[in-house]
Chain A
Amino acid sequence: MPDGRKVTLKVGFAEQLRDIEVQLPAGEPKPWDARSELQVIGKPHPRLEAPLKVSGAAKYTHDIVPPNALWAAVLRSPHACAVVEAIDVAPAKGLPGVSAVLALVKPGERVIFAGQDIAAVAAKTPEQADAALRAIAVTYKPEAFVVDTAAAMQDGAPLVHRGKVQERSTEGDEPGAGGSAGQRGNIRTSPSMKKGDAHKGLRMAKVSHEATYTTQVHTHSALETHSIVVQWDGPKQATVWCSTQGIFSVRDEFAEVFELGPADVRVHTDFLGGGFGAKFGASAPGSRMGFIAGELARQAGAPVRLLLDRKEEHLCTGNRPDSRQHVKLGAGPNGQLTAIHVVAHGTAGIGTGAGVGRNAFGIYSRCPNILVESHDVFTHGGPGTAMRAPGHPQGAFALELALDELAKKLKLDPIDLRLQHDEHPVRRHQFELGRKQFGWDEGRKQAAVLRDKNARVRRGFGVAASIWGDFGRGKAVVATVSVARDGSVEVKNGLQDIGGGITTVVAQVVAEVLQRPVEAVRVRLGDSELGPSVGSGGSVTTASVTPAVRAAAEAVKEQLTALAAKQLDRKPEEVTWSGGQARAGSKSIAWAELCKKIEGEAVVATGTRPETYGAYPVKFMGGNSYQIAGVQFAEVRVDTWTGVVAVERVLAIHDCGKVMNPLTCRSQVQGGVILGTSYALTEQRVMDRVRGVMLNPNLESYKIAGARDVPRAIDVVFTPVDTGANNTGAIGIGEPSTIPTAAAIACAVHDALGVAVRDLPLTPDRVLAALGVVPTRGAS
């Protein structure tokens, strides 16, 4: 490997390409850039693990049953707030099949949300475990509670926390978010984002807009519930299977809880049934699952399976906080923004993290005066946690809809207003591209005609922008690539595939470097003993893992090159590779022949990736990473008699660096659009203000979009960018793809109706209320 060197990279996008010089760290392969001609990367390839998934052979944590495994169940608080006066778990102990019983609260302790851990049991069957829970006697002294965000903000509201609040952060959180700037009553202020003087900017404005926008609590609702299976292999050694986005976060938390060395805990996640931000660590955000399963297994002397049910999944495993955002915009006479001011309050229940992201602060950066003030409002509800682009969909909704309302006052086209204030060249390119491809100008005209005619069924067109950062992590992943004497190729890493398709992408990278068929690369993931890796959160996976895999593959190739040189009796620098053969001059040696010459069992190398060394053309604020751009267009049909909104089309234009596998990448964007549509139209946690419990902890009245509820057409367009960030050019897409969807839909509804519906979800009653057909019920 040569030492660190300077290389010239061709970076940029579309027609805007340029050469930059990059100093590479020692051992780092030259990054793939706009000049690279790649054979496998960038070509669609079906998922390698798909045959296992379509045949029922893929084993998820739910499916893991070690010999003699017991079934665990947890008793949960029925009260939003209560003091436990007495708890007696003894009656559960003698029941048939019961092997271990655990009290999780002590008399005198206060529980502060309905769904909190009270006690747990392990028994032979689920039915026996349920019977055991019913035998546990708990006496509660109920106390005053508040589950409504607005009510919790008032003076004299029941206090949720009586001491200092602990912030729980995970790999799902946006880097740089969090922290506190003070707490009063149930309101905890987050550090504000500030530029210029927004108050002055508002005073200078010729045209202004001011309104309050609200969004609902959104639950992750991954289809596989949080689950953990624990088997003690010795007093200080455990094997854990966990449905997790972060194998190492599970290992470290489990080791800490039971005072073990991390190496004494082995964690497996061969497959997981979705996560969306809620699955980090051995515990769920609102339930000490790792401790419960581990302790029950220890006491029972048998493996324990703890699989939450659907109700528990809604109550105690995290959610996207709600928001009430008071937005003030000011503009000069020709539409130049003079100020953006957002004051946001939201509840993450008993937890923190109800900020509204960086949409308002980061996208329309030509506005000189911006102030975003976020507050957590504590309520007696299950804790929120990171959910696919934490804060961003709520922030995008309020800001983008407010911009459209301002544009209307200014008689400006919404795209023109945005282009006037967005400095990101890729996003500007995306706006222009979408305007043409979506038929924006013509569509808006048609919408206006229907509006003017007061037609029953209207059409509307909306657009919204996405902002995220390339948070790909350096030095976090160690990948191992090996080529055995029989010519087989293997790549190993302790990574989990959440469903984004990283298994296939990893194989593609190795196949590209070693010129082998993708199917010939055996990928081993999902096990903490396969080498350090990252969590599947923050859209970092592909950017963090593929460069490490490539570095390892290149190191293996270098060894094979040396071996080929020896066989061909040439110098290594004379050896070239094509079609999987090593050549030097007129001589060549085929792959299989070359591999037979390997001394020992295999050629093995590990690789890692350095910190980012490029962020062309625009940096994400306050950091050294690239700012990922995206724009989505939505067309809706609104029935003004019934208030029903249907999404006809979404055009999602995204930048995700160098696209590794267009097939799986497209699926991921499509999934982001569908999640955003569901958030925009139907999903919401409904709390009973009288009893303090969630009224719809299920999948029939908590409505996630089905096949007939999604946009009739979803078009995905990638605008590839070579950022020079890492050696494969990969950056993330999981989160950016869901950020602007609900906002674009809300803007389209505004276009259709001529009035804005300022509360999510855009339910028929709210549409009719906005039209003045029915009285306003008010946001929850």
Chain B
Amino acid sequence: MSDRAGITRRGLFRGIGTAGLLAGCKPSERPPTTTDDPGAAASPGEETAVGPGPAPLSFTLNGEAKTLEVAPNITLLAALREQLRFTGTKVVCDRGACGACTVLIDGVPRNSCMTLAHDVAGAAVTTVEGLASGGKLSVLQQAFVRNDALQCGFCTSGMLMSCQGLLERTRGQKLAREDVEAAIAGNLCRCGTYPNVVAAVLEAAGGSA
């Protein structure tokens, strides 16, 4: 399960804007612009420089369209917490080592501390606040509660998002303990709830321990 590698090189380039990245280079040092990147070439507007000041960013957050002004060096995590005040996603290491800030970007679990906010332009972002619907906890959330898969609760948001990603990409399949452990291998918990998290996910997936 290597699909949560966090930021990709391409993603970084897209996030800060290719022109913005190259702005610091002398013209003679600039590499030729390639067009073999379907992601970067998808929209001509993306080639526009972003920054150094705040620039408009639109994406979908928990199903709701959001547009805000974000500086190009701001991480998705900081934008969520400090600008949008969605504080369910937690800051723990702020450098991709602990998974506490995991969110789903187009269904894939990512460390939001390693993703620039502008990286999610046009994408669908789901945070822990988006798991429940109509005030009702999801099956996974309920399983966390029943199995006591949390103590202090500070890793819980990130744990849930990694597990939600697992459930979405394995929908209908029977899961083994090892699948869950691999999915949460990047999520650190200091209270020691891992076994209960595994039990909760297996229960939510309808598998057996």
User: Who on chain A is nearest to B191 by CB?
Assistant: A671
**A223 and B152 form a contact (CB under 8 A):** yes
Question: Does A31 interact with chain B (Cβ within 8 Å)?
Answer: no
The number of A-B residue pairs with CB atoms under 8 Å apart is 164
Interface assignment of A644: CB less than 8 Å from any CB of chain B: no
Q: Which B-chain residue is minimally distant from A498 (CB atoms)?
A: B152
Let me know if A437 is at the binding interface, CB within 8 A. Answer: no
Pair B198/A273 contact, Cβ less than 8 Å: no
If the complex has contacts A51-B137, A708-B185, A714-B195, are A56 and B190 also in contact, measured as CB distance less than 8 A? Answer: no
- B95 at the binding interface (Cβ < 8 Å): yes
> Within the assembled complex, what's the spacing in Å between the Cα atoms of A663 and B151?
11
Judge whether A62 and B90 touch: CB under 8 Å.
Answer: yes
* A679, chain B: closest CB distance, angstroms: 12
- B153/A309 in contact, CB under 8 A: no
If A54-B145, A670-B195 are given as contacts, then 16 extra A-B residue pairs at C-beta distance below 8 Å, sorted by A number, are: A47-B150, A53-B150, A54-B141, A56-B157, A223-B90, A225-B92, A273-B153, A273-B154, A274-B154, A501-B151, A663-B148, A667-B193, A670-B193, A672-B192, A699-B188, A708-B185
Cβ of A765 under 8 Å from chain B: no
Contact B127 A500 (CB under 8 A): no
Are B192 and A675 interface neighbours, CB within 8 A? yes
B positions within 8 Å CB-CB of A: 71, 73, 78, 81-82, 85-98, 100, 127-129, 131-132, 137, 141, 144-146, 148, 150-157, 160, 180-182, 184-198
Bound together, the chains give a CA A1 to CA B135 distance in angstroms of 45
Please encode chain A, from 473 to 509, with 1 for each CB lying within 8 Å of some chain B CB and 0 for all others. 0000000000000000000000000111100000000
- Are A56 and B151 in contact (CB-based, < 8 A)? no
What is the predominant secondary structure among interface residues of chain B facing chain A? loop
Contact assessment for A51 and B145 in the assembled complex, using a CB-CB cutoff below 8 Å: yes
For window 189-236 of A, CB contacts with B under 8 Å fall at 221-225
Across the interface, which residues of A come within 8 angstroms of B184, CB to CB? 706-707
The A contact surface, by secondary structure, is loop
Q: Which residues of chain A from 8 to 65 have a CB within 8 Å of any chain B CB?
A: 46-47, 49-51, 53-60, 62-63, 65
Q: Top 5 A-B pairs ranked by shortest CB distance? A: A56-B88, A273-B154, A674-B192, A671-B192, A499-B152
* A276 in the interface (beta carbon within 8 A): yes
From A50, A63, A710, contact of B195 by CB (8 A): A710
Does A55 lie within 8 Å of B137, measured CB to CB?
A: yes
Closest to B146 in A: A46
What residues on B are CB-neighbors of A667 within 8 Å?
148, 151, 191-193, 196
- Chain B residues with Cβ below 8 Å from A58 are 153
Measured CB to CB, the residues of A under 8 A from B are 46-47, 49-51, 53-60, 62-63, 65, 125-127, 221-225, 271-274, 276, 307, 309-310, 498-501, 663-664, 666-668, 670-675, 698-700, 704, 706-708, 710, 714
What residues on B are CB-neighbors of A714 within 8 Å? Answer: 195
A-B contact pairs, 30 of them (CB 8 A): A51-B141, A53-B156, A55-B88, A56-B89, A57-B88, A57-B129, A127-B73, A222-B154, A222-B190, A223-B92, A223-B189, A271-B152, A274-B190, A276-B190, A307-B91, A309-B94, A667-B192, A670-B192, A670-B193, A671-B192, A675-B192, A698-B95, A700-B95, A700-B96, A700-B97, A704-B190, A706-B184, A706-B185, A706-B186, A706-B188
Residues of chain A within 8 A of B100, CB atoms compared: 223
Q: Is the CB of A699 within 8 A of B93?
A: yes
Asked if A500 contacts B181 (CB within 8 A), the reply is: no
CA distance A302 to B147 in the complex (A): 42
Among B153, B160, B198, max chain A CB count under 10 A is at B153
Q: When chains A and B are docked, how far (Å) is the Cα of A627 from the Cα of B55?
A: 63
- Are B145 and A126 in contact (CB-based, < 8 A)? no
Central interface residue in A47, A49, A54, A58, by most chain B CB within 10 Å: A54
Inter-chain contact A707/B191, CB cutoff 8 Å:
no
B190 and A223 contacting across the interface, CB-CB below 8 Å: yes
Interface contact B185-A707, CB-CB below 8 Å: yes
Residues on A with C-beta less than 8 A from B196 are 667, 670
Are A708 and B152 in contact, CB atoms less than 8 angstroms apart?
Answer: no
Which chain A positions have C-beta within 8 A of B129?
55-57
Chain A residues lying within 8 Å of B186, measured Cβ to Cβ, are: 706
CA distance A371 to B192 in the complex (A): 35
Whether the Cβ atoms of B154 and A224 lie closer than 8 Å is: yes
CB distance from B166 to the nearest CB of A (A): 12
* A699/B97 in contact, CB under 8 A: yes
In the assembled complex, how far is the CB of residue B128 from the closest CB belonging to chain A, in whole angstroms? 4
Min C-beta distance of A545 to chain B, whole Å: 17
Report if A271-B153 is in contact (Cβ < 8 Å); known contacts: A47-B148, A698-B93, A698-B95.
yes
Could you tell me the distance between the alpha carbons of A667 and B156 in the complex, rounded to whole angstroms? 15
A547 to B157 alpha-carbon distance, docked (Å) = 34
The answer to whether B148 and A62 touch across the interface, beta carbons within 8 angstroms, is no
